[in-house]
Structure formats: C-alpha cells, structure tokens
Amino acid sequence: MTKLQDDIENYLSHSHPHSDEYHQAVREVFDDIAEVYRKEPAYRRWNIAERMLEPDRIVRFRVCWEDDNGQVQVNRGWRVQFNNVLGAYKGGIRFDPSVNESVLKFLGFEQCFKNALTGLPMGGGKGGADFDPKGRSEREIMRFCQAYMQELHRHIGPNVDVPAGDINVGPREIGFLYGHYVKLTNRWEGVLTGKSPGFGGSCGRTEATGYGVVYFLKNMLQAHDQSLESQRVLISGAGTVALYAAEKCIREGAKVITVSDSRGTRVFRNGMSEKELVSLRTLKLEQHGSLEDADCGTWHSNKTPWFAAKGAIALPCATQNEVDGKAMKRLIGNDLLALCEGANMPLTQEAHDKLIDANLLYGPGKAANAGGVAVSGLERSQNASLQSWSMDKVDTMLSGIMEDIHNRCIEHVKRKDGIYPYSKGANLYAFKKLAEAMMAYGVK
Ligand code: NDP
Ligand code: 2IT
C-alpha cells in the first residue's frame, strides 16, 4: 500500500465511519490513481485527496406523509451535494429501504467521476430516501414524493442542483416531484431531468442509460476486434436500465439470455424476442409487477443470472454489490468475454479484483452507464433554450457521447496483453479533470 492509500484509509475510518459502500468506491479510485498522485506534488500541496473525499454538504431531513389508512409515516430523506467544480450538482434520487448515508456518499462520489467523463458541465450529487414503494398505492407514492419535495425544493435549482431518477424513481415519480416543485415555487424550469417529453423532458432519456451501456460495449468490443452480433448476453435487473439494454442488444443481433429481479431470474435459452421484451416491460415498468408472474422463458426462483445461465457478455444492471467473488469466478470460468456495468458499483471488491486479475474487457459503471446522465445534460440544454429535440437527434448525440467516453477511458492507459484497462483509464481521466478544476479554483 502506498502512503496515499494509507492516508485515505485513515481519513475514511476517522471521518466517515460505518460507510462500507463509500469506502469501497473510494478505494477503487485511489488504487488506480495513487501512482499519478505521488508523481504530482501539487496534488498533495492542494490536498486534493481529502478535499475530494469530503462532500460539499449533506442535507438530511424528515419526510412525513399520510398512508391510505390515514396513518402518518416518517422516513429519512437526503441530498448529498458532493462537488460542483465542473457544474451544478447533478445526479439521481433513489427510494429504497437500503438507502443510507454511506450508499448516497458512494453514489455521489461516483457521480462526480461519471459526470466528468461525459464532457458536459455537470458536478456530482445524489439523493434519496429510505422509503419502500413496494406494496404502496399510486396515491401513497404521490404523497411521499410531494412530502420529499416539500423539503428538497429549498436546496435545488436549475443552476444549483438538478436531480433525476434512480432505483424506484422513474418518469411517474419525477412527474409527482416536478409537479410539486412547480406548485411550491411557481417556477417552470429545468430543475429535474427525466421528465416526460410531454412537459419538458427529453426524448430518449428513459432509454439512455440502457442504450448507452450497449453503445459503450460495442465500442469496447470493436477496439478489440470483436462484435456483439450473436453473443449470449446475461443481464441482471428488469428495471429501466436492464430492459433498455436488453432492447438495444436484441436490435444489435445479440441474444439476451436472462433478466432478473429481487426474486429470481428469467432465462430465455435461445434469446428473448422483442415481443417477449414488450410483455416484460409492461409487467415491470408499467404495472410494477414481478418477473415471477411473466409467461415467457423459464423462472429460476432466488437465482441470479450468473448461476442460472451461461453467456460471454455480462451486464449487471440491478444494484450495488450484486456480483460477488463466487459469481465472478463462475462467469470467468464460463468464458466471459466482456462485462459492462449498467448499475453503479455492481461488483463487490472481491469480484472487482478477480475481474482485474483476469484482464478481461471491463466497462466500469462510471463510464458505461453515463449515457443516462449525459442525456439528462441534453435535457437541461433543451429546457434552457426552450427547445425539444427529436428522438433521432438525441440518440445520435448519445451514441457520439458514448464513443467519446470510451476514448477518454483509454487516453491515459496502455494495453496490457492486448486489453485496455478501462476502469483505471476512467478513474485517471476523471480524477485529473476534477483535480485540475479544484486547483484552478484555489482553496474552496
Ligand atoms: P429500477 O428501479 O428501474 O430497476 C431496478 C431493478 O433492479 C429492478 O428489477 C429490481 O428488482 C432490481 N433490484 C433492485 N435491488 C435489487 C437487489 N437487492 N437484488 C436484486 N435485484 C434488485 O432502477 P434502474 O434501472 O433505474 O437502476 C438500476 C441500476 O442502474 C442502479 O444501480 C442505478 O443506480 C443504476 N443507474 C441508473 C440510471 C438511470 O438513468 N436510471 C443511470 C445510471 C445508473 P425489483 O423490482 O424486484 O426490486
Ligand atoms: O446514476 C446515475 O447516473 C443516475 N441515476 C442518473 C443521474 C441523472 O442525473 O440523470
């Protein structure tokens, strides 16, 4: 371990105790940039490391709302405004019982690096609440969103902090949140992204993260003389990211073998058809049901895709730490060619280390899933200029942005045994960009 890594560990255990996910995300970045940091004395003089690890601010608040029985419920809400040197804070909102400060710090920290890679002027932030929408009626979800915005609206603004969706926060929830912001402030402005295109949203924002993952994957395969056509793809998750990644894979001629949710995995032995995908989308995104109730493919209760089937390409698109060391060993043993992260930090540290040791094609989330926030950036541009661009235009821009992100990931690294180390390249590019802006700003 270098002195820097040692200092980071001490800083984290002292200043951010009980934050396992946050430590994991930071460690992964600083392992990759330690050498560059050591060689540039200005980084230490400006204390870039500690400044980068301390969020600008964390707003924490009580969210009180009334359920359908008239019972008052209390949840905890947060907004982590991590770093705004590259632009206004930008990042999603997650509603899930697993949300806590450690999870939001890891997501906010990753978001700063991801947004730097997009090339768009966006800082990093993340928010959410420990609210569980499962089993709640639409009216309850609306009341929760309104109660959350009741506090959040004081802290956001189109040039201050621009939230969007994440797990369990899709166009419906963004509609409820935005509607309440407009009511509270009497301002119709680009303060949230992921809105419906009918009232200021961008075409293609819902599809953007999933499509972007596949664009990144294609660039990565092409740079290594491989192609996506006919490949067997294992996808986890069945939410926004997973199902649009599946759609793009099918359209590119790949075979989507699995999708999954928190109850198990649905396997399509010879690849899912577009018709089957439409029925799954209706079930999951529109009716908020479980894959268990679908009537296509075969159902494997309590199994993850990595143990339910074999495939050369893996796209984890559900949640953090969903692929552990055992699953990674199995994927590698089954001739894994490439893994691209649709989810944020889906690999445990052990799985991550195994994949790095195996020297296979690995698209890290901060690069591979950046298409979502990139189209959020395009939504802001459309709102600011009172324009509405076509799906074709947005999709062409997304594809170009993903190609640029791919190229930024290989700007500062060389091939090792023929393979580009994308994860290290992404960390180096984003770190340098953030550090340079922080030094240029002086002590702030
Ligand atoms: P959704 O809420 O639309 O879907 C989440 C999916 O993951 C659901 O199928 C859900 O299953 C499954 N899931 C959630 N938690 C678990 C778990 N503990 N074990 C197994 N499955 C689980 O979210 P998104 O698709 O928007 O987000 C998925 C991932 O992508 C997250 O990591 C998010 O941070 C990341 N991401 C999202 C972006 C976006 O634009 N939406 C942008 C970039 C990254 P179930 O329905 O059973 O809960
Ligand atoms: O993790 C992410 O990049 C997101 N949830 C999307 C953030 C955004 O502002 O669109």
Q: Which of 376, 381, 405 gets mutated to test ligand 2 (max ligand atoms within 8 A of its CB)?
A: 376
Ligand 1 contact via 174 beta carbon (within 6 Å) = no
Residues 81 and 172 in one domain: yes
Which CATH number characterizes residue 41's domain? Answer: 1.10.285
* Beta-ladder partners of 179: none
Task: Show which of 137, 161, 188 is a domain's final residue.
Answer: 188
Residues 76 and 9 in one domain: no
Q: What's the mean pLDDT in 37-44? A: 96
If you measure from the C-alpha of residue 92 to the centroid of ligand 2, how many angstroms do you get, rounded to a whole number? Answer: 4
Whether 298 is in a domain gets the answer yes
Q: What's the mean pLDDT in 107-119? A: 98
Whether 369 is in a domain gets the answer no
For the chain, give the mean pLDDT: 98
Whether 271 is in a domain gets the answer yes
Q: What's the mean pLDDT in 314-323? A: 98
Q: What's the mean pLDDT in 95-110? A: 98
pLDDT at residue 444 is higher than 90: no
208, 372 in Cβ contact below 8 A?
yes
Please tell me the number of the ligand nearest to residue 213's CA: 1
Residues 352 and 277 in one domain: yes
pLDDT at residue 114 is higher than 90: yes
Which CATH number characterizes residue 107's domain? Answer: 3.40.50.10860
Q: What's the mean pLDDT in 82-100? A: 98
Residues 91 and 229 in one domain: no
Residues 161 and 71 in one domain: yes
Q: What's the mean pLDDT in 172-192? A: 98
> Tens of pLDDT along 332-376?
999 999 999 999 999 999 999 999 999 999 999 999 999 999 999
Q: How many domains are there within the chain?
A: 3
Q: What's the mean pLDDT in 25-37? A: 97
Q: 161-164 and 57-66: which strand pairing?
A: unpaired
Can you tell me the distance from the alpha carbon of 274 to that of 301, in angstroms, rounded to the nearest whole number? 23
Atom of ligand 2 nearest to the CA of 110: 1
Task: Show which of 138, 154, 188 is a domain's final residue.
Answer: 188
Residues 248 and 158 in one domain: no
Catalytic residues: 126
Sign of CA dihedral 319, 53, 170, 368: negative
Residues 67 and 165 in one domain: yes
pTM of the entire structure?
0.98
Residue whose CA lies nearest to ligand 2 atom number 10? 373
Structure confidence at residue 425 (pLDDT): 98
Can you tell me the distance from the alpha carbon of 92 to that of 78, in angstroms, rounded to the nearest whole number? 12
Atom of ligand 2 nearest to the CA of 90: 9
Whether 402 is in a domain gets the answer no
Structure-block tokens of residue 385: 């200029």
If you measure from the C-alpha of residue 371 to the centroid of ligand 2, how many angstroms do you get, rounded to a whole number? Answer: 9
pLDDT at residue 271 is higher than 90: yes
Whether 118 is in a domain gets the answer yes
Residue with tokens 């990093």: 124
* pLDDT over 70 percentage in the chain: 100
Residues 249 and 131 in one domain: no
Whether 92 is in a domain gets the answer yes
Q: What's the mean pLDDT in 117-132? A: 98
Q: What is the DSSP letter of 293?
A: G
* pLDDT over 90 percentage in the chain: 99
Amino acid at 411: E
Q: What's the mean pLDDT in 236-241? A: 98
Structure confidence at residue 2 (pLDDT): 85
Residues 269 and 316 in one domain: yes
Q: What is the DSSP letter of 263?
A: T
Q: What's the mean pLDDT in 251-271? A: 98
Domain that holds residue 91: 57-188
Whether 139 is in a domain gets the answer yes
Exposure string of 388-413, with b = 16+ CB inside 10 Å and e = fewer, is bbeeeebbebbbebbeebbebbbebb
Ligand 2 contact via 372 beta carbon (within 6 Å) = yes
Residues 212 and 343 in one domain: yes
Q: What's the mean pLDDT in 219-227? A: 98
Ligand 2 contact via 349 beta carbon (within 6 Å) = no
Q: What's the mean pLDDT in 289-302? A: 97
Using pLDDT thresholds of 50, 70 and 90, give the confidence band for residue 165.
very high
Using pLDDT thresholds of 50, 70 and 90, give the confidence band for residue 25.
very high
Q: What's the mean pLDDT in 370-387? A: 98
Residues 2 and 68 in one domain: no
Which CATH number characterizes residue 222's domain? Answer: 3.40.50.720
Q: How many CB atoms lie within 10 A of CB 142?
A: 19
367, 341 in Cβ contact below 8 A?
no
Residues 115 and 256 in one domain: no
Structure-block tokens of residue 57: 């601010």
Structure confidence at residue 1 (pLDDT): 79
Instruction: Name the burial class of residue 198, with classes exposed (0-12), middle (13-18) and buried (19+) by CB atoms within 10 angstroms of its CB.
Output: exposed
